[in-house]
Amino acid sequence: MLPRTQRQKEVLDYITRFLAKNGHQPSYAQIARHFGVSSKATIAKHISALEKRGLIRREHQPGHFGLAVPLEESAADAVCEVRLVGRIAAGAPIDAVQDIEMICVPRFLLGRVRPERIYALRVKGDSMIDEHICDGDIALIESRNDARNGEIVVALIDHARATLKRLFRFGDEVELRPSNATLQPLKVHASRVEIQGIFRGLMRPNA
């Protein structure tokens, strides 16, 4: 079962990334702060909706309240293989690398996208750190050549240099915007940019 709304998907993705990074669940306050929402009740509604759809399990223990994202380990398609095709810059663009190998990925991270439409890239740099996309992470990318404003994309610049950024279009210019307050957006003519895919999920290799 999939999230009913885009915001529910974003909340689920954030919880998944937070768990991978910190080893524990985020609080309602942390989720609200991440999305710029003032009311924790709004977050509670999203959590409740995700729970009803079987995507989140709330655990109540004495003195403890937590969230768990079920992996449905008994499902036959709980794990699938996708291509790891190299690395992607979350910083200054770097030359695209195409060393291909196969890696195992929890199936729920892909949503309704077929595994054969997904490829993985190892992240280099910290320009997307505010999205909790860190150096060394593995980004899961849906192979597509179109994107909506604000989506995180793999952008190929001048047919050679690849980078992971949020995409915004302004007339015949494209802005590739980092999620790092210390860095400036990259603005280039639209003719110099090719969309190679849309960010769909994240994996953090064990330290």
Question: Active-site residues: which are they?
Answer: 127, 165
Residue of 55, 84, 94, 88 lying closest to 71 (CA atoms): 55
> SS3 of 103, please?
strand
Direct distance between the N- and C-terminal alpha carbons of the chain, in angstroms, rounded to an integer: 31
Q: d(Cα 167, Cα 99) in Å, to the nearest integer? A: 26
User: What would the two tokens of residue 186 be?
Assistant: 């990259």
